[in-house]
Amino acid sequence: MVEENLDYLKVIELARQLRVGVTEEEAKIIAKDLSKVLEYVRRLGELDLEGYEPTYSVTPAKSVLRDDVAEENLPVEEVFVNAVGEKGFIKAPKI
């Protein structure tokens, strides 16, 4: 019970940091799943992975710079179709 409560608080705190609104009910469900899923994935701890470097991408991921030549981009008016704009600027919430 104590552990469940801890998970609930953890979920609320993570959601706050992530700026993802969750209802109390959602947080309770996710808290329950958090312990269940973590319990499940803990099995990976049994493996001896000594000597295996992590794989983050299966293709050699290297940054490539393109030539510094101007390319055609999305016209501003088309980008603004999806945003709330004012006087040529995209409107954002206040800081």
Partner 1 sequence: MGASRIASAVNAGELSAKEVVTAYLERIAELNGKLNAYLHVNSTGARRAASSVDDLVVRGEKLNLAGVPVAVKDVISVRGLPITCGSRVLRGYVAPYDATVVNRLKRAGAIVLGTTNTDEFAMGSSTENSAYGASRNPWAEDRVPGGSSGGSAVAVSGGMATAALGTDTGGSVRLPACFTGLFGLKPSYGALSRYGLVSYANSLEQVGVFARSVDDLALVYSAMLGADPKDGTTTNFSWSIRDALSRGVEGLRLGVVVEMSGEGIHEAVSSALSTTCKELERNGVSVGEASIKHMGYSLEAYYLIAMSEASSNLARFDGVRYGEHPAFEGDWNEEYSRVRSLFGLEVKRRIILGAFALSAGYQEMYYGRASRFRTLLIHEFREAFKQFDVLIAPTSPTPPFRFGEKTQDPLTMYLSDVDTVPVNLAGLPALNVPVGTFTTDGTTLPLGVQLIAPYGRDDLLFTVASQLERSGLSIARVVEPWGRIV
CB-nearer residue toward partner 1: 87 or 91? 91
Assess contact for 35 and 7: CB atoms under 8 A.
Answer: yes
Contact assessment for residue 54 and residue 27, using Cβ atoms and an 8 Å cutoff: no
Counted residue by residue, the chain has a size of 95
44 binds partner 1 (CB under 8 A): yes
Binding mask 63-92 for partner 1 (x = CB under 8 A): xx-x-------x---xx-xxxx-----xxx
Q: What tokens does 52 get?
A: 């295996």
Residue 4 touching partner 1 (CB under 8 A) = no
Q: Residue 85: beta bridge partners?
A: 90
Is 93 a residue that touches partner 1 (CB under 8 A)?
yes
> Rg of the Cα trace of the chain?
23
Residues at the contact surface with partner 1, assessed by CB under 8 A: 10-11, 14-23, 26, 29-30, 33-34, 36-38, 40-41, 43-45, 47, 49, 52-59, 61-64, 66, 74, 78-79, 81-84, 90-95
